[in-house]
A and B are shown apart, each in its own frame.
Chain A
Amino acid sequence: MVDNYRVRGSMRFDMYFVWRQKHVWTAILTATVLVACQVPPQLPPEDGLVLEGERLFFNETFSGNGRTCGTCHRAEDNFALSPNFIATLPPDDALFVAEFDSNLANNFENSRLIRELAMILENQDGFDDLATNFNMRGIPHTLGLRTSIASAAGPQTGWSGDGAPGDGSLRSFAVGAVIQHFPKTINRVAGVDFRLPTDDELDALEAFQLSLGRQQDLSLPLPLKGTVAARGQEIFIDRSQGKCNACHFNAGANGDPTIFGPTAGNLNFNTGVEDLPDQPADLTGENVPPDDGLGNPGSGEFNTPPLVEAADTGPFFHNNAIDTIEGAVAFYNGDAFNDSPAGLLISGATGSGINLESTQVVAVAAFLRVINALENIRASDELLDRAYRMSQTVDRQSTLLERAAFEIDDSIAVLAAANLHAVATQHLNEALALVQSSLNKSGTSRRRLVDDARAQLTLARDRMVES
């Protein structure tokens, strides 16, 4: 009996143990599910074509002189290139290939203009007289291309809208870039001095470039909280004051559809930038031929760049003529613009040219700074989100975190340079510190820092614009 009791008791104990174990496991499972429910759902992996395009963009030299697309379109520098960033590069960077490769010593680049003014040599009017037939141009960023290159006349690539061979598309742009900027010698023989990108590579490069930056235009007016920026937005839109919105509709790169028609898209204008006196490149005394813009012979026209990304991607205009966003806005007050074909059209249509007082110039620039910072915040938040919800490897996660840090850093610089949104800037500084710290952590510690950084970004944004 005792034995029986013992057996029964033992069985009861075992059953109790099993029962308890079951419940413990159920509890653990329930807790896990609850925790899992709080984790944002996993997004699909990053687009393979875009990732391949990114690899090609930054690593593929196409058997040329060592340059890649990323040599001039730096992720760290908003996919553009500025003199300050160039100053940080080592002497053997492929950007300076003309300095250390004797095959490219003549008529390929102007070393002084690259280093001092971030200007690259282009032969858009042909390659027959390399010593005299060339132009020096800045490097446009490749952000927001999905919203800025379509036009009724076809795709507009490069500064004058005619940057691509073949069908003139963004997909074909890479072929022209390889021939212009990547060759081992200026003979530019395909298969000897470079290899042409394959169709698959062109598809991937196009997909990557289209994935960069904004995927849609803003819808102005925004409910901005900053007094000066809000006033700047009014001036920007007002057809009797700034008149900016006519050609930079919603601060993008397209013409106002109510003026230019619903399919106008990106337009070319001769705004007289070439007529500016004292252009930095001219002041150097280097040989800088006049740039005639679209076509050969040129029409003097250049295409309209998007303004959302402007404030942190100077110098401005095709010839890097002006360094600050305030200076770029003030350009439209001057004779060079008001006497230009575009300026005369504006004055003919509205009864006056553009004539803003200095406070108004600063207000428009403040507006451009704020929308630039808001785009930086949007982009950095998206990068942080992607880092956690889409990346397949720790390295990839770190790359995205680093890019997010560049964006946050830009937003701070853009606001701080004009004393805009001091409290938002504090939140951005905090966000930047958190992202930078996260790069040295892993697992949940990293995750927590990134979540905190995103919260700081939200606080910064909320200081700048109504939700």
Chain B
Amino acid sequence: MNNWISRHCLNLAVLMIATGVANAQQATERYIPIGKSPGVSIEESFIGTITDIDYTDHKMQITGTEGQKTVAPSESTRYFLDRTKGKKSNQIATFRDCEVGLKVEIKTKADGSIDWIKIESG
């Protein structure tokens, strides 16, 4: 019976862990300005300026201190409009809010997909 318990619980544990990674939401992230996300900014994210954008193919090119990167957000990527500089409340955004010349911070997940993009706005 112990093996039975072990097998079933282990399956559940694996499922739970996978679910947790996929869904873990951090709602307050929205209000954290670009470059200030604890344990993420610098270490796990890339900050730069949008130098090219393709709204059809859902891609953009970012140039930062680490060089140039092509970024392809997925459907699960979250977007935040960082309006802190203008002393306004940050907002949920979309890919359409990304424009050439705007500063962005991009956080990738362990699998390489884009978790969220913060877009600087006045």
Q: Are A255 and B29 in contact (CB under 8 A)?
A: no
CB distance from B14 to the nearest CB of A (A): 9
By size class, the interface of chain B is: 35 or more
* A188 CB within 8 Å of chain B: yes
Residue pair A179, B32 in contact (C-beta under 8 Å): yes
- List residues of chain B with CB within 8 A of the CB of A246: 5, 9
A260 touches B28 (CB 8 A): no
CA distance A172 to B28 in the complex (A): 11
The 0/1 profile, CB within 8 Å of B marked 1, for residues 223-263 of chain A is: 00000000000000001000000100000000100111100
Stretch at the interface among B36-44, B46-54, B56-64: B36-44
A162 touches B25 (CB 8 A): yes
Q: Which residues of A contact B30 (CB under 8 A)?
A: 126-127
Is A191 interfacial (CB 8 A cutoff)? Answer: yes
Q: Which of A98-106, A163-171, A283-291 contacts B (4 or more CB under 8 A)?
A: A163-171
Tell me the complex Cα distance, A349–B5, Å: 5
User: A394 contacts the other chain (Cβ, under 8 Å)?
Assistant: no
Q: Does A24 contact B (CB under 8 A)?
A: no
Select the stretch in B16-24, B65-73, B95-103 that faces chain A.
B16-24
B27 touches A153 (CB 8 A): no
CB-CB < 8 A to A261: which residues of B? 10, 13
A50 to chain B, nearest CB (A): 19
Given known contacts A179-B31, A345-B12, A189 and B88 CB-to-CB distance under 8 angstroms: yes
User: Are A125's CB and B31's CB within 8 A?
Assistant: no
B25-A124 in contact (CB<8A): yes
Binding site for A on B (CB under 8 A): 1-2, 4-6, 8-10, 12-13, 16-17, 19-33, 36-41, 43-44, 83-84, 87-90, 92
**Which residue numbers of A lie inside 8 Å of B, CB to CB?**
123-128, 151-154, 156, 161-162, 164-169, 171-172, 175-176, 179-180, 187-192, 196, 199, 202, 239, 246, 255, 258-261, 264, 267-269, 294-296, 298-299, 301, 345, 348-351
Sample (29) of A-B pairs whose CB atoms are under 8 Å apart: A125-B27, A128-B92, A153-B24, A154-B20, A154-B24, A156-B20, A162-B25, A166-B32, A166-B41, A167-B40, A168-B24, A176-B27, A176-B28, A189-B84, A190-B32, A190-B33, A191-B84, A192-B87, A196-B32, A199-B38, A261-B10, A267-B16, A294-B20, A295-B22, A295-B24, A295-B25, A296-B27, A298-B23, A349-B4
